[in-house]
Amino acid sequence: MRGWVKVQSFTDPPDNIFRYDNWCVRRTADEWVRLAVEDSRMSGKRALAKLEGIATPEQARLYVGAEVGVPRSELPALGPGEYYWTDLEGLEARGASGEVLGRVDHFRRLPGGDIVVVRGEREHWIPLVKDRILQVDLEDGYIVFDWASDW
């Protein structure tokens, strides 16, 4: 209604997305538009936002499926051993014994917890918990999981 858009937030907690006054919205593969957030609220677990220049339901429909981001410079600094998911995507995923499981493809937020999806010869859904992550080496481009290729 009135141009409000539903947003699936990947911030933790979900309403942290509203800490950012401006969002970069990807409308096409190579078109990012910077839009001011005029108003926002949570409706259950769903984030709702009123973005500048979107005043009707018809205009809001043009943004269905669009990605929302913020410039890296606006993100909070991380502590030791903390990573943004985007930093881990594309890393080679290895099991504890050194076997290559594939590459970190993406992350999913599920009711039982977050998972990392690794794609290789087969797809692995690995729980994103400290006990499963043994080592992260951004410089050399790999992450080691307490996981085996036949799991």
Homologous superfamily of domain range 4-72: RimM (2.40.30.60)
Q: 2-16 pLDDT, tens per residue? A: 789 989 888 888 899
Q: 53-97 pLDDT, tens per residue? A: 999 989 888 888 888 988 888 888 999 989 999 999 999 999 999
The reported pLDDT for the residue numbered 41 is 94
Q: Residue ranges of the domains in the chain?
A: 4-72, 85-145
CATH number of 85-145: 2.30.30.240
| Whole-structure pTM value | 0.73
The reported pLDDT for the residue numbered 101 is 97
Q: Which long-range contacts (CB under 8 A, 24 or more apart) does 121-124 make?
A: 121/149, 122/149, 124/93, 124/151
Whether the per-residue pLDDT at 1 is higher than 70: the answer is no
In this prediction, residue 125 has a pLDDT band, given cuts at 50, 70 and 90, of: very high
Say how far apart CA 126 and CA 97 lie, in whole Å.
Answer: 16
Mean pLDDT taken over the chain? 91
